[in-house]
Structure 1
């Protein structure tokens, strides 16, 4: 039964439809939500997604990849928006599940819009070689670093804006802070630039997409926890 795997209250992601799941999701849009009710083996109600305090009115008949964060692990299927309605001042989507649930084999991460100041620098050739031999080689944190702004973050990487254009495939040493249990915690991560572009509406500013290549798994779980805590806060405020 469907309820053996997912239950009301489970977090989900609705991702604009793609024929496969991969770590390189490009510009595929994701929406955070949670299960409101299980109607049958093929139909569920979920909360209407919110983004920056605004309801996201996903279109009826829209097709989405659905990722479920359940006690059984990460599960996936495809679904269609069958209906949307309001009940007791809550906005609900009814989803028809159009494929069986399956384990999500290749882990993806929801990208959360934010504005976080951070520091970064490119790795030297010597550091890059050392990390290849020892993934958790200690990086010198006292060297000069550039400043930028993280504009979205996930358990898999960041997107940031900076005045310096970095070449694609450059490996970076990244430092930022996130609140955890009421205090700020430092995160020091190695990443690789996947894509770079100059912002059309802000000449001299460059957007960079970065994938983490060396990250402690406890730190990754911290980041995911931070994202969903922030999403919950936004949903409560709305």
Structure 2
């Protein structure tokens, strides 16, 4: 059942496919962000018509697109065709027929993007870990005793950073960092598990840490994944 994996409110990317890429209409050469409004059957959904710069983008009926859903159960992809569009309660809706099976996407979530970001972190208290395990957001003081280090790559599932101090493997740590180009200057906060710590052979006194997010807001995870692929897209564009 489609509703077992996708739900109203999930964010979704629409990207034109096939001969649509040859169309001179700029709407077919762009990736649009939207939101699932309704699931009417196992092969039909309704999504909010995309907005850009405060304006509605009227995607063409019969246009064929690939979809990437940002679901709470992971990332999923399929293909679709726009069969209708209408207005309801001041909202503009696209009706999509799914033309392929839903497939789980792993690559987007775990693709690692090389970067250089400032990371702030500290050990978590047992009380904080216990609170998060019980779905209660609780931090004694996020800004207390934070140590600074440098992120060298990030993904939707974790990150790697280098520091002049070291945690122990198995530690639970609080981390926060900002993404460049974020208009809201949002600070992304998460609790992480330290998977591996190694001292750099070429730089004694510096320690590489590999960590995995264990408690992270799903909207933050989506923002991070979207940032990674936007940056990767910019790099590919420069190379071509």
TM bucket, shorter chain:
0.5 to 0.7
Distance 1:209 1:8 in 2: 40
Instruction: Show the counterpart of 2:12.
Output: none
Could you tell me how far 1:178 is from its partner in structure 2?
1.0
Change in 2 beyond 3 A, CA 1:125/1:220: same
Instruction: Show the counterpart of 1:173.
Output: 174
Distance 2:194 2:147 in 1: 15
User: In 1, are the aligned partners of 2:67 and 2:77 still within 8 Å (CA)?
Assistant: no
Instruction: Show the counterpart of 2:67.
Output: 71
Could you tell me how far 1:142 is from its partner in structure 2?
2.8
Could you tell me how far 1:161 is from its partner in structure 2?
0.4
Instruction: Show the counterpart of 2:238.
Output: 237
Q: Deviations over 1:119-158 (max 9, x none)?
A: 0001012222222223522451231111110000011111
**TM-score normalized with structure 2 length:** 0.56
Distance 1:114 1:131 in 2: 29
Could you tell me how far 1:226 is from its partner in structure 2?
0.7
Gaps of 5+ in 1: 1-5, 10-69, 77-100
Q: Answer 1 or 2: which has greater helix percent.
A: 2
User: In 1, are the aligned partners of 2:121 and 2:146 still within 8 Å (CA)?
Assistant: yes
**TM-score normalized with structure 1 length:** 0.56
Instruction: Show the counterpart of 1:104.
Output: 104
Instruction: Show the counterpart of 1:192.
Output: 193
Could you tell me how far 1:166 is from its partner in structure 2?
0.9
SS of aligned partner of 1:228: helix
Distance 1:139 1:174 in 2: 14
SS of aligned partner of 1:71: strand
Change in 2 beyond 3 A, CA 1:204/1:155: same
Gaps of 5+ in 2: 1-15, 20-65, 70-75, 79-100
Provide the aligned C-alpha RMSD in A: 2.9
Is structure 2 residue 205 aligned with structure 1 residue 222?
A: no
User: In 1, are the aligned partners of 2:131 and 2:137 still within 8 Å (CA)?
Assistant: no
Q: Deviations over 1:169-226 (max 9, x none)?
A: 1001001001455342111111101111111111011111111000110000000111
Q: Deviations over 1:49-77 (max 9, x none)?
A: xxxxxxxxxxxxxxxxxxxxx4165359x
Higher alpha-carbon Rg: 2
Distance 1:181 1:142 in 2: 21
Q: Deviations over 1:33-62 (max 9, x none)?
A: xxxxxxxxxxxxxxxxxxxxxxxxxxxxxx
User: In 2, are the aligned partners of 1:119 and 1:148 still within 8 Å (CA)?
Assistant: yes
- State the number of aligned residues: 152
Could you tell me how far 1:233 is from its partner in structure 2?
1.6
Change in 2 beyond 3 A, CA 1:72/1:144: closer
